[in-house]
Amino acid sequence: MNVAMLCNHYHPHVTGVVTVIDTIIRNLAGRVEFSVHYACPDGSAAQGAAVFPSPVGKVLSHCLRPLTGGYFPFTARCLGSMRQLLGHDLLHCHTFWPNSIVPLLRLAGRRPVLLTAHGGVDLMRTQQWPAAYQRLVRRALLAATSVIALDELEQEALRSFAPGVRTCVIPNGVDLEPRVPAEANCGPRRILFVGSLNARKGVKDLIAVANSREFAANPDVEFVLVGEITPDIDPASLPRNVRLTGPLPPERLPELYAGATVFVLPSYSEGMPMVILEAMAHGLPVVATPVGAVPLLVEHGQSGRLVPPGDRRALLESLLSLIADPILAAQLGANGRMRYEKRHTGAAMAHTHLNLYTDIYATRTH
């Protein structure tokens, strides 16, 4: 069986969706043949096919340069360069934004199409679109062979938005990299954030907390922010206890998780964040906001702390409590690790995908 993965980005632009794709490919190697077809919104990569040496090995990838400008690369004008998709047994589309709607609608009747709704953010934004766009998205959802939701709440939202949609639930999972020994505890305690440094991720709130009297006067605590720097923040005006690393390749992250004391993600909207799963897998307590599927990952008081989005005082107090009580932090982290092992391993996620792929393929060939 060969499966084409369709997404907006691929390596070296690493996002949570890319991590999901890599995890599926890595765990199903030898049982399913994959290729990745991705957009190149800024035209920075060469159009056409290449064997890309990704972290999961060499993967045949196909970059589609946008022909219409803006962020709508998967349009009718690109369909000619996407004809190779028809040679696959199954298409797995990892977005239902307008840039994927046209091929989904055009190809759904000729090849089975799976669509993963990566979090409530997409659906929330969809409902903010004009009515014409909403109709297109509904048509795409209904045309899909099956739509994968990350949790039951998202599944219900999909059913409400597109009555009659065929849907199932497959929670995200991550592979646990070999543990990196933590450095001797002779430096500052680190509060780690991983994600795009933008307002939606709550980075402004986090920086304000770092600049608070309680943390600014404490030389033993450092905020480490990993991710792409956006215009939402001014690196020159950051407090001295905030360190920016910029975007890092996935293989650099385990050492940062290993050296951290607390993981924080104070977002205003999320799906099922892969970075929270990675933090849980590394035994870190998590301070986050109860948005999207986050409450299904982080149990308040059991594996971390949940604070209202934008509540800087609650964010400050939660971080302070875990920094001040290493025994509590270790216990919450251990609970999160157990939850990861029980529900969110990469192997479990990939195996569930394989069962779905196999069922759809068997139905099509009989």
Query: In the structure encoding, which two tokens stand for residue 45, read together?
Result: 């990569």
SS3 assignment, position 82: helix
104 pLDDT exceeds 70?
no
Could you tell me whether strands 48-54 and 57-64 are parallel, antiparallel, or unpaired per DSSP bridges? antiparallel
Give yes or no for a contact between 293 and 310, defined as CB atoms under 8 angstroms apart: no
- Please tell me the distance from the alpha carbon of residue 31 to that of residue 15, in angstroms, as a whole number: 25
Q: Which residue has the tokens 């669509």?
A: 115
Mean pLDDT of the chain: 84
Query: In the structure encoding, which two tokens stand for residue 346, read together?
Result: 């990469």
In this structure, the dihedral spanned by the alpha carbons of residues 136, 358, 349 and 347, taken in order and rounded to 10 degrees, is -150
Give yes or no for a contact between 298 and 304, defined as CB atoms under 8 angstroms apart: yes
What pLDDT sits at residue 209?
A: 98
Give yes or no for a contact between 225 and 209, defined as CB atoms under 8 angstroms apart: no
Mean pLDDT of the region 312-336:
97
Mean pLDDT of the region 175-187:
61
What pLDDT sits at residue 73?
A: 45
What pLDDT sits at residue 122?
A: 62
What pLDDT sits at residue 212?
A: 97
What pLDDT sits at residue 70?
A: 41
247 pLDDT exceeds 60?
yes
Mean pLDDT of the region 330-348:
96
What pLDDT sits at residue 148?
A: 95
Domain boundaries, the chain: 2-173+346-365, 189-343
Give yes or no for a contact between 143 and 319, defined as CB atoms under 8 angstroms apart: no
pLDDT band at 188 (very low <50, low <70, confident <90, very high): confident
Give yes or no for a contact between 11 and 18, defined as CB atoms under 8 angstroms apart: yes
What pLDDT sits at residue 78?
A: 52
3-state helix, strand, coil in the chain (%, to 5): 40, 20, 35
Neighbours of 71 (CB within 10 A): 13
Do 2-173+346-365 and 189-343 have matching folds?
yes
Domain 2-173+346-365 CATH superfamily = Glycogen Phosphorylase B; (3.40.50.2000)
pLDDT band at 227 (very low <50, low <70, confident <90, very high): very high
Confidence (pTM)? 0.84
For the domain covering 189-343, report its CATH number. 3.40.50.2000
Q: How many residues does the chain have?
A: 366
pLDDT band at 66 (very low <50, low <70, confident <90, very high): very low
305: left (phi over 0), alpha (psi -120 to 50) or beta: beta
**Burial class of residue 318 in the structure, from the number of CB atoms within 10 Å of its CB (0-12 exposed, 13-18 middle, 19+ buried):** buried
pLDDT tens-digit readout, 29-46: 999 999 888 865 544 444
SS3 assignment, position 363: helix
**279: amino acid identity, one letter:** A
Neighbours of 19 (CB within 10 A): 20
What pLDDT sits at residue 353?
A: 98
